[in-house]
Chain A
């Protein structure tokens, strides 16, 4: 099983500033990496797939990068609605899909 490790566990950032979230895979997942945002009481929302492609309707301030084992989600200028938990997910092996443990993005 591919283990996905996200860092940091909690990130405190002020509105308007940039946030950088990391995700590391225990072995290469190529570009088969997605990012999700989850707010309390809601289902996850797909932000990024293919490591860097924004999903439909996702604002341009969200960007993804990386390949292989190291990935980054960047939110360029934080808005109030961006404070949430973010998960990465690898789907390189469709028989064993795994998520990271999440990064909580909180208001500083």
Chain B
């Protein structure tokens, strides 16, 4: 069955970097774009953008340019989200997700909590 398994929770200091992984199984990784969604504590869902798993070309939503980088390692069917120069407001759960039909999302990772605190 399809699974998206994300890396574990992270506690980082302001200014540091973090890299979240999302390992896919149960389907052909390069068949569907991988999206990232952020959810701050007690808040709603915010789409961050997506990466073309064939070409590696990323598309970033407004507000997620500069410090946010999507990348891939197709040899291990894994997508990555790297955030640099972390700020307290980056504290959130980050989800990887994809849609098998279009740009709605039917498969989700379990989420990775990134906490930024001094």
| Chain A contact residues, CB within 8 Å of chain B | 1, 32, 34, 36, 38, 43-46, 49, 55-56, 87, 89, 91, 94-102
Contact = CB atoms under 8 A, between A and B. Distances in A.
Classify the interface of chain A: helix, strand, loop or mixed: loop
10 contacts: A1-B62, A34-B105, A36-B105, A44-B95, A55-B106, A89-B45, A96-B61, A97-B61, A97-B103, A99-B44
Given A34-B104, A49-B102, 18 more contacts: A43-B95, A43-B111, A44-B105, A46-B105, A49-B104, A56-B106, A89-B105, A91-B99, A91-B103, A94-B103, A96-B61, A96-B62, A97-B103, A98-B47, A99-B44, A99-B47, A101-B44, A102-B45
B101 interface: yes
Interface of B: 35, 37, 44-47, 59, 61-62, 95, 97, 99, 101-106, 108-111
Question: Of B47, B104, B109, B110, which is in contact with the most chain A CB atoms at under 10 Å from its CB?
Answer: B104
A49 B103 CA distance: 10
Contacts of B44: 87, 99-102
B111 A99 contact: no
Contacts of A99: 44-47
B108 A44 contact: yes
A81 to B, nearest CB: 18
A99 B61 CA distance: 12
A32 to B, nearest CB: 8
Given A97-B61, A101-B44, A89 B104 contact: yes
Contact of A43 (B61, B101, B102, B110): B110
Contacts of B45: 36, 38, 44, 87, 89, 99, 102
